[in-house]
Amino acid sequence: MSRLQPTRAFDIPSSVVTSVSPHAPQSHEAPWWRHAVLYQVYPRSFADSDGDGVGDLPGLTARLPYLADLGVDALWISPFYVSPMIDAGYDVADYRDVDPLFGTLADVDVLIEAAHGHGLRVLIDLVPNHTSGEHTWFRAALASGPGSPERERYLFREGRGEQGNEPPNNWKSVFGGSAWTRVTEADGTLGQWYLHLFDSLQPDLNWRNPQVVDEFHDVLRFWLDRGVDGFRVDVAHALLKDEAMPDWQEKAVMAASHSEGAEHANLGPMWDQDGVHEIYRAWRSILDSYNPQGDPALDRILCAEAWLPSQQRTMRYVRPDEMHQAFNFHFLETSWRAKDVRTVIDDSLEAADAVGAPTTWVLSNHDVVRHASRLGLRVGASRPNGIGARSVQPNAVLGLRRARAATALMLALPGSAYLYNGEELGLPEHTALPDRVRQDPAFFRTKGKEIGRDGCRVPLPWEAGAPSYGFGPSPDGATWLPQPLVYGSLAADRQEGVTGSTLEIYRSMLRLRRVHDLGVGGLRWIDGYGAQVLAFVNARKDGIPITVLTNLGDAAVALPESAEVLVCSGRLEDGLLPQDTTVWLAQRDRM
Ligand code: NOJ
C-alpha cells in the first residue's frame, strides 16, 4: 500500500464488465529496454556545478542519487558535445569531445561509471542528420570549391534561375525561412547553396556518401567503447532525401499529427525515405556486436526520434533488425479526451506488437510545451510551439491536475516510458520569458511568430530558499534562462517527503510499476464506467492485476469493492474518483 492513500473499500459499479485485450503480457525475462522508464536530462538546465548559470556533467553526476531514488531505470542525456550552441547543442562541431560548458570527456567517464553504480543506464544523443557550421568538415567544404570531395559530404547544389540566385528548390526549414543558404566562394563571388532542414548553421549531411556512413559507425563505437548503453537518434527519419529533391509546398514540421494548412507536412520528400532503414540495420549490428552472447541485460539500444504521421510508419524504424524503440509522439499529441486517449493506446500497442517491438510513451520533452501547461490549454486546441506572455495562457491548476492524471495513466501502461526532467516536480512551462533572453532559433527565424522552445528548458529548482533555487552556485543566482517565481514553491526540497506532492506521487508510481512489472504486463480494457472513464487492468501472468481508472468526465466515479488504493494522482473525494484523476488499484480477492 502506498503511504499516500489509506486502504479503503468501495462500492462496485454493477455494470462493470471486462472486454477487449489489445496487448498480451510479456515474459519477465524481457530485455530491460522493453519496459524501462527513461529520464531525459537536458544538461544545460539540470544542475550547475561551477556557477556559470549553465548545467553541466559534474552537476548531473552529483544529482544521480536523486534520480536513483526517483526510481527511473535509465537516463537519456541531450547533447553535450562541442558546439557553438546555435541550437542548444543539436549543432555538433565535434562528435568525440565535450563542450567546455558541460565539462570534459573525463567527466563523462565519471558520470557513466557513477550512473551504472546507481543501477542507471545511460543513453546519449546522436545527431547524424546535420553537423554544426563549425564542424571541420563543413569548414573544409566551404573552403573547397564546387564538386570537391569536401562538398560531397553535405548537400550542396547550384541555384535556380539565370545567376543561380534562387534556391535549388522551395523547401522550408523546420525553424522557418528557406532550407537553403547560399555561400560566398573563395573568389568572393556568390556560389552554391547548401541544404539545412533546421538552422543555417546546421548543414545537412549527405548520407549517400560512404564517408559519412563510416564516420558515424566510428562515432557509435567511440561512445560504446566508453560504456554508453545506447543512443537517442535525432531526426532519424531525415537522413536521406529524395534524390530528385522535388519542390514541396508545405512547411517541414516536427509534429506527428497533421495540422491545419500542413496536412501532408511530414510526408514530404525530405522525410522517411525507404533507404534510411539500411543505415539503421548497420547500426544495429554494431550495437549487437557489443553483446555477443545476447544477454538481455547487456543490450545497447537505439531510440528513434521520428515525427511521422502514422504509427505504422514509425514502427518501421523498430523492426527486429533496426532500432529498439521510437518515441510515441502520437501519444504526446493526443487531446485530453477519453475516446482519443483510448484509441491512441490501442493503436500504439497494435502497431508495436505487429513488429514485435515495445511501444514507448512520452508526454514531455525539450521540444514541446511542458504537459503541465499544455494540458491546461483548451482541449482540442492545436499544440503551440511555445507560449509567450501575449499568448493564450494555460490554466495552471487544471494543467497540473491533468498532467498528473495523464502521467499516472502513462506509467501504468505496458511498454517503456520517457520522462522529461522537472516533470516529476510538476513544473509548468515558463510562459513569460522576455524576448531578449530567448535562444531558440525558431523564434528568430520566424521573426517571433513562433515563440519557440525556451519555456520548457528553464533550469530546474532544487532548493526553494537558495539562489537560483539551488540550480547552482552562480554568485548572483543568475541562470542561462531566468526561472519563474513559481519554481520556488515547486523546488524538489519543498516536495520531498510531502504526501501528495507531485514528486512523491512519481516516486510511488515508479516504485509500484517496478514491483508489479507493469512494463511487461498485458492490458485489458474494462467497460462499464461510462464513455468518459478509461479503465483497464494491467496484469502479468502470475502477478497481482492492477486496475487503473482515469476519469476524464465531470461525474465522480465509484471504485470497485475491496480495491486497495495503491496510488492516486490527486485526491479521492468521499471515496469517489473525481474528474481528471487517475487511480491505481489492487483487487486481490477478485482476480
Ligand atoms: C530534434 C531535437 O530534439 C531538437 O531539439 C533539434 O532542434 C532538432 N532535432 C534539430 O537537431
Q: How many CB atoms lie within 10 A of CB 475?
A: 8
Of 348, 330, 359, give the one whose Cα is nearest residue 258: 330
Cα gap 261→267, rounded to integer Å: 14
Pocket of ligand 1 (CB under 6 A): 87, 90, 127, 198, 234-235, 305, 366-367
Task: For ligand 1, atom 11, name the residue with the nearest CA.
Answer: 90
Q: Is the pLDDT of residue 16 over 70?
A: no
**Which one-letter amino acid corresponds to residue 362?**
V
How far does the centroid of ligand 1 lie from the alpha carbon of residue 118, in Å?
29
Give the DSSP H/E element, type plus range, for residue 382: none
Task: Please identify which residue in the block is written with the cell numbers 541544404.
Answer: 195
How far does the centroid of ligand 1 lie from the alpha carbon of residue 367, in Å?
7
Cα gap 573→566, rounded to integer Å: 16
Q: Which of 41, 42, 90, 91 to mutate to test the pocket of ligand 1 (most atoms within 8 A of CB)?
A: 90
Q: Is the pLDDT of residue 313 over 70?
A: yes
For the chain, percent of residues with pLDDT exceeding 90: 89
Q: Which of 174, 234, 456 to mutate to test the pocket of ligand 1 (most atoms within 8 A of CB)?
A: 234
How far does the centroid of ligand 1 lie from the alpha carbon of residue 303, in Å?
14
Confidence at 150, pLDDT banded by 50, 70, 90: very high
pLDDT per residue as tens digits for the range 467-491: 999 999 998 999 999 999 999 999 9
Task: For ligand 1, atom 5, name the residue with the nearest CA.
Answer: 367
Q: What is the mean pLDDT of residues 50-61?
A: 98
Contact at 8 Å (CB) between 520 and 26? Answer: yes
Q: Is the pLDDT of residue 5 over 60?
A: no
C-beta contacts of 443-449 below 8 A and 24+ residues apart: 443/386, 445/173, 445/175, 445/176, 445/177, 445/199, 446/175, 446/176, 446/177, 447/176, 449/176
Give the DSSP H/E element, type plus range, for residue 298: none
Q: How many CB atoms lie within 10 A of CB 157?
A: 17
Ligand 1 atom nearest to 127, measured from its CA: 11
Q: What is the mean pLDDT of residues 142-159?
A: 97
Cα gap 252→589, rounded to integer Å: 54
Cα gap 577→416, rounded to integer Å: 27
How far does the centroid of ligand 1 lie from the alpha carbon of residue 542, in Å?
42
Average pLDDT, the chain: 94
How far does the centroid of ligand 1 lie from the alpha carbon of residue 411, in Å?
25
For the chain, percent of residues with pLDDT exceeding 70: 94
Q: What is the mean pLDDT of residues 557-569?
A: 95
For residue 221, report the phi and psi dihedrals to the nearest 5 degrees. -65, -40
Ordered DSSP codes for 543-591: S--EEEEEE-SSS-EEPPTTPEEEEESS--BTTEE-TTEEEEEE-TTT-
Q: Which of 78, 125, 235, 253 to mutate to test the pocket of ligand 1 (most atoms within 8 A of CB)?
A: 235
Lowest model confidence (mean pLDDT) among 129-143, 240-254, 275-289: 240-254
CA angle 75, 37, 333 (to 5 degrees): 100
How far does the centroid of ligand 1 lie from the alpha carbon of residue 525, in Å?
36
Cα gap 5→516, rounded to integer Å: 18
Where in the sequence numbering do the catalytic residues fall?
234, 305
276-288 and 210-225 are packed helices; what angle lies between their axes, rounded to 10 degrees? 30
Half-sphere CA count of 187, side-chain side, radius 13 A = 5
Confidence at 360, pLDDT banded by 50, 70, 90: very high
For residue 71, report the phi and psi dihedrals to the nearest 5 degrees. 105, 20
Cα gap 294→224, rounded to integer Å: 16
Cα gap 580→398, rounded to integer Å: 8
Ligand 1 atom nearest to 198, measured from its CA: 10
pLDDT at 254: 76
How far does the centroid of ligand 1 lie from the alpha carbon of residue 18, in Å?
42
160: which DSSP letter?
A: B
How far does the centroid of ligand 1 lie from the alpha carbon of residue 85, in Å?
12
Ligand 1 atom nearest to 175, measured from its CA: 7
Give the DSSP H/E element, type plus range, for residue 180: strand 180-184
Q: Which of 198, 270, 303 to mutate to test the pocket of ligand 1 (most atoms within 8 A of CB)?
A: 198
Of 303, 365, 361, give the one whose Cα is nearest residue 523: 361
Q: What is the mean pLDDT of residues 30-35?
A: 96
Contact at 8 Å (CB) between 299 and 291? Answer: yes
Q: Is the pLDDT of residue 6 over 50?
A: no
How far does the centroid of ligand 1 lie from the alpha carbon of residue 237, in Å?
12
Q: How many CB atoms lie within 10 A of CB 333?
A: 18
Q: What is the mean pLDDT of residues 532-549?
A: 93
For residue 27, report the phi and psi dihedrals to the nearest 5 degrees. -70, 150
Ligand 1 atom nearest to 78, measured from its CA: 3
Contact at 8 Å (CB) between 230 and 298? Answer: no
pLDDT per residue as tens digits for the range 180-193: 999 999 999 999 99
Confidence at 1, pLDDT banded by 50, 70, 90: very low
Confidence at 260, pLDDT banded by 50, 70, 90: very low
How far does the centroid of ligand 1 lie from the alpha carbon of residue 359, in Å?
22
Task: For ligand 1, atom 6, name the residue with the nearest CA.
Answer: 90
Ligand 1 atom nearest to 453, measured from its CA: 5
pLDDT at 256: 74
This prediction has a pTM of 0.95
Cα gap 559→549, rounded to integer Å: 9
Q: Is the dihedral of CA 35, 37, 41, 45 positive or negative?
A: positive
Ligand 1 atom nearest to 90, measured from its CA: 11
HEC letters along 501-529: CHHHHHHHHHHHHHHCCHHHCEEEEEECC
Residue 156 bridge partners (DSSP): 194
pLDDT at 547: 97
502-515 and 396-411 are packed helices; what angle lies between their axes, rounded to 10 degrees? 10
Q: Is the pLDDT of residue 394 over 80?
A: yes
Q: Is the pLDDT of residue 14 over 60?
A: no
Q: Which residues contact 521 (CB under 8 A, 6 or more apart)?
A: 25, 26, 414, 538, 539, 540, 543, 546
Q: Is the pLDDT of residue 324 over 70?
A: yes
Lowest model confidence (mean pLDDT) among 41-45, 115-119, 427-431, 540-544: 540-544
How far does the centroid of ligand 1 lie from the alpha carbon of residue 324, in Å?
20
Please give the grid coordinates belonging to residue 260: 491545419
Ligand 1 atom nearest to 87, measured from its CA: 7
Q: What is the mean pLDDT of residues 261-289?
A: 88
HEC letters along 410-458: HHCCCCEEEEECCHHHCCCCCCCCCHHHCCCHHHHHCCCCCCCCHHHCC
Ligand 1 atom nearest to 365, measured from its CA: 3
Task: For ligand 1, atom 4, name the residue with the nearest CA.
Answer: 367
Cα gap 352→361, rounded to integer Å: 12
Cα gap 252→197, rounded to integer Å: 8
CA dihedral of 528, 533, 539, 543, whole degrees rounded to 10: -90
Cα gap 193→200, rounded to integer Å: 11
pLDDT at 17: 56
The larger pLDDT score, comparing residue 1 to residue 65, is at 65
Contact at 8 Å (CB) between 537 and 528? Answer: no
Task: For ligand 1, atom 3, name the residue with the nearest CA.
Answer: 367
The backbone region for 31, taken as left when phi is positive above 0, alpha when psi lies in -120 to 50, beta otherwise, is: beta
